[in-house]
């Protein structure tokens, strides 16, 4: 749920990068962080324990899309992909506004992709959220390495919900299509926000 700060005239959105371990979520975020002007972004900060690798950073663009006079601020998170860190993933998913699911295109990772997507659906359900309503994009990563599954199989495995959503072939290590994916997720959440908040109302979650 977006956070609206009437005092500073900001709306804060949360986008979470989700996916199995080592699929490229961290690499994606490092690339995004490296390409954004330091004036328009905060530090890349890791909220991590011994092996957790959640990354968090603030991003406030100067030329932000203005929604009824409010600046938009985006917080991008990744989750630790290892199976045992489900509690952390649940925490990070709180108040999420959009999800980018990063899949590992390697043949040997298909089962991990399916399990991670199932886990995402399960964790969202605990917050009364669903991928059918949440802005959500698929990122098929590692399209540059050999021994990867074709797109039609990835689509069959992971894009089989009621609505077929947009997917992107990416190479996070070079940045190919990384911003296209993020741009799509951002557009979806802004459209949703506009639909649901035709006029900003005090009833929304806000800070003073």
Q: Given the rule CB under 8 A, which residues bind other proteins?
A: 22, 26-27, 30, 33-36, 38, 40, 43-46, 48, 53, 55, 59, 61, 63-65, 72, 74, 107, 110-115, 143-144, 147, 149-150, 152-153, 156-157, 160-166, 169-171, 174-180, 182-183, 186-188, 190-191
| In the complex, least distance from residue 169 CB atom to other proteins, rounded to whole angstroms | 7
C-alpha 82, offset from chain centre:
17
Give whichever of 22 and 204 is closer to other proteins, judged by the CB atom.
22
Tell me whether residue 114 is exposed, middle or buried, using C-beta atoms within 10 angstroms of its C-beta: 0 to 12, 13 to 18, 19 or more: middle
Give whichever of 7 and 51 is closer to other proteins, judged by the CB atom.
51
Q: Residues of 62-71 as b/e, b for ≥16 C-beta within 10 angstroms? A: eebeebeebb
| In the complex, least distance from residue 202 CB atom to other proteins, rounded to whole angstroms | 25
Give whichever of 111 and 122 is closer to other proteins, judged by the CB atom.
111
Integer angstrom CA distances of residue 130 from 67, 120, 137, 155: 25, 9, 13, 19
| In the complex, least distance from residue 19 CB atom to other proteins, rounded to whole angstroms | 13
Give whichever of 20 and 129 is closer to other proteins, judged by the CB atom.
20
Give whichever of 123 and 159 is closer to other proteins, judged by the CB atom.
159
Residue positions counted in the chain: 208
DSSP reduced 3-state for 198: coil
Question: Nearest Cα to 2, choosing from 72, 10, 12?
Answer: 12
| In the complex, least distance from residue 68 CB atom to other proteins, rounded to whole angstroms | 14
């Amino acid at each position: 749920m977006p956070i609206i700060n009437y005092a500073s005239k900001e709306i804060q959105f949360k986008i979470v990068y989700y996916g199995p371990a080592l699929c490229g979520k961290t690499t994606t975020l490092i690339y995004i962080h490296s390409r954004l002007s330091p004036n328009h972004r905060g530090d890349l900060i890791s909220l991590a324990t011994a092996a957790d690798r959640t990354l968090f950073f603030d991003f406030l663009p100067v030329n932000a899309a203005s929604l009824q006079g409010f600046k938009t601020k985006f917080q991008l998170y990744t989750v630790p992909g290892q199976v045992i860190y489900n509690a952390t993933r649940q925490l990070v998913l709180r108040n999420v506004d959009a999800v980018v699911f990063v899949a590992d295109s390697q043949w040997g990772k298909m089962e991990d992709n399916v399990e991670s997507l199932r886990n995402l659906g399960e964790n969202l359900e605990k917050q009364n959220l669903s991928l059918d309503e949440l802005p959500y994009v698929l990122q098929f990563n590692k399209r540059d390495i050999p021994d990867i599954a074709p797109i039609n199989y990835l689509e069959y495995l992971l894009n089989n919900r009621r609505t077929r959503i947009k997917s992107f072939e990416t190479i996070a290590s070079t940045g190919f299509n990384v911003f296209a994916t993020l741009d799509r997720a951002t557009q979806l959440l802004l459209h949703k926000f506009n639909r649901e908040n035709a006029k900003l109302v005090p009833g929304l979650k806000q800070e003073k």
